[in-house]
Structure 1
Amino acid sequence: MPKTPAARSTSIAGLLTATSLVLAVSGCATYDVTAPADARADAPAAAVKEKDARLAADADGKNGAGKNGPGENAPAEGGDGAGSDVDCRKAKCVALTFDAGPSENTDRLLDILKKEQVHATFFMLGKNHVDKRPAEVKRIDAEGHELANHTWSHQILTEIDPAEAKRELSRLQDAVHKITGKTPRLMRPPQGRTDGEVSRISKELGLAQVLWSVTAKDYQTNDSALITKRVLEQTRRDGIILLHDIYQGTVPAVPGILKELKKRGYTVVTVSQLLSPAQPEPGMVYRP
């Protein structure tokens, strides 16, 4: 089966690069991995042209703020993290992601993100989260954040029957679509554990897989200062930050994290904005 340009590297030397064909943990089955920068570099020419046209139009809108359009403070549109366009080919971008919600902390987090004019990607759980908090799911979408899949009940996908793994993902897809009318294009496998079979299922369901480069291990501590320190120590350009809005120490850490990231010159984006002008490719594993 031919590989796409974003996953074309199959040699031993290629295994050392971010764009590679990786052996699955479960055996000899393979799955494709690429880094955000490589995905952008391999974007089709038509996508690059469209991106540049949007950036030019966005610049015109900013220049005409108050006269011909809403300008740079216009609210983001949709639940795919679109919003005002960002060019991560030039900007020093980092993606902010939250797993395992929504929870009782999510509204407070959304208030912070709105105040800071930042959009994030929410990898949501179904059982006891999406099914219990549809209002928060609607708000995540309405305020321009990216809707994403973290399975229905957090089962380890590599340890269950493929049919069950498919149900874990498709059930969340259906629930989010019922609430918002939109279907996630991204998923994060619980514990980051994937293999060739999970990639096959993800491709069938139209889901790209997203891992991370920054973790505060906020499931181990409620110390907001420590969470902030861990994030800032690990963050680099094109990184993907993993946090959880279900833990009590995490949301209070977010204002300080955002303030320092902006001070350091980072533009905080959704995962899809980080990959643009490339589109998330179903089945692909994106790992900084």
Structure 2
Amino acid sequence: MSLRDAGAVEAFGALPDPLVAAFALVTLLGDVATYFLLFSVLYWLGDRTPVIGDRLDRPLIVQVVALGFTALALVTVLKHVFALPRPPGAGTPVAVAGVPDALRPLVRGATVDDGYGFPSGHAIGSTAVYGGLGWLVADESDRRPLYAGATIAVLVSLSRVVVGVHYLGDVLVGVALGVALLLVVTRYFPTPARSFPAAGVLAAIGLVAVGPTEYLLFGLGASLGATAAWWTLGDRIPDRARSGREALVTVVLGILVVGGLLAVVAALDLPALGTVVAVAVVIGALVAVPVAGARVDAALG
């Protein structure tokens, strides 16, 4: 029995198949691709986001995105520093009965992972991002957003043990590091103009320390692109959409522009420096989209 686990992987692995399948889907909420899609749309919609829009503005959402970039760089560096393995069988999909055919590929993909296991990137990321969003949105009179964000973070973290790709200790330390990261960033880097450069510096240090990994290249490029866009356009980016139509126009433009750029980047075989530059362009465009959205909406009358 691993000292990092205390038998938790084996115990959670004995849960009923439907529950394991449900946790496999929950773990997808902690994937980088999910963060990218979810927070892009939240940023473009801003205060027009259904249900929680009255609590949101674009600088707040962008600050949460910066937290995500920082978490990505931090966990990549720490995994290489500790170089601890995942549980046995982490590279083999969990056999779960009774899963609908449409969901089977998602469940299978969510129950495998490779690379180093400590600390859990899903735990750090979900705590910093979902917990961070809840913390920044909550106020003294209503703490429900914080509780909701913390609940999502706990479920995502726990799901990593249920599907057998992390030990319990990996996620407990990951949650603790996510909370610490949230405290540090909100205390010392409280605005996107500060937090994006900080994330970039951490990614650059990681590249020097551990080499050009995929996530560090992405993190450096994303931080550089977001920093350039925010420093250049920050005062011109509308904090809030003036109407539902403007928010919709912004989302459509974002999907077309950012989706098109991503398709081009995916089709290219880029070296490390080229990847950094390409990601910087994509994220810079993502941040700038609300400016274009406001102008197009105004032109439509």
TM bin, normalised by shorter chain, reads under 0.3
Larger Rg: 2
The structure with more helix, counted as a fraction of residues:
2
The structure with more strand, counted as a fraction of residues:
1
What TM-score do you get using the length of structure 1 for normalisation? 0.25
